[in-house]
Homo-oligomer: A and B are copies of this chain.
Amino acid sequence: MNASLQTVSTPADRPLRADARRNRERILAAAQVEFARSGGDAQMDAIAAGAGVGVGTVYRHFPTKDALVAQLIRARFEQFVATAHAALEVEDPWEAFAGFMRANAQHCAQDVGTQFMFLQAGPELAPTLARETGLLDLSQQLIDRGQRAGVLRADFAADDIGMIMCGVASAMHHGSAHWDWQRHLGFVLDGLRARPA
């Protein structure tokens, strides 16, 4: 499985029939639940069952499993975008940036499907989505603020965010007794803070 970026035909090609729209939502919800439960390898049958729907219906909405995953990921990125907007409202430039990172990590922690995304999805999916959804720009703004204020190290770049989130996600994915992703993120954030000198 290699979740490439299949543009799911969500665009209002034709206004979906009422029941179809309902099912579509159910499927996405069930997929999220199922991915969370199984830790990344949910089965189409299970997703269909969870949505109270036949497999065929799942395939009517998403031509392939990858397409379904891609849609989940896209939705998550839209959440990231919202978080970024919120962060830009925060006064303190460091807290704005750090809070953004923490909030995103928190979202990942609550949805194993997203961790799955960072760990298993095609390498280009995350960067591409970040660009397409505008997340990259927003992140850049947060970074610029931090760097202008001298609280964020100057050599940090927007592209690094994905890499770091990926690393943090992998820590939470394992959930080994001693592994605490919040510690991990804390270490990294401390590393990103500008050094006094």
On whether the beta carbons of B176 and A187 are closer than 8 Å, the reply is: no
- Does A119 lie at the interface of the complex (its beta carbon under 8 Å from any beta carbon of B)? yes
Q: Which of B126, B162, B173, B188 contacts A187 (CB 8 A)?
A: B188
Q: Which secondary structure dominates chain A's binding surface?
A: helix
Report the count of interface residues on A (CB-CB < 8 A). 40
On whether the beta carbons of B179 and A163 are closer than 8 Å, the reply is: yes
**Per-position 1/0 for A157-169, Cβ under 8 A of B:** 1011011101111
Binds B, one of A43-51, A75-83, A88-96, A189-197: A189-197
Residues of B within 8 A of A189 (CB): 191
- Does A124 lie at the interface of the complex (its beta carbon under 8 Å from any beta carbon of B)? yes
On whether the beta carbons of A187 and B170 are closer than 8 Å, the reply is: no
Residues of B within 8 A of A183 (CB): 160, 163
Residues of B within 8 A of A169 (CB): 170
Bound form: Cα–Cα A176–B175 in Å: 25
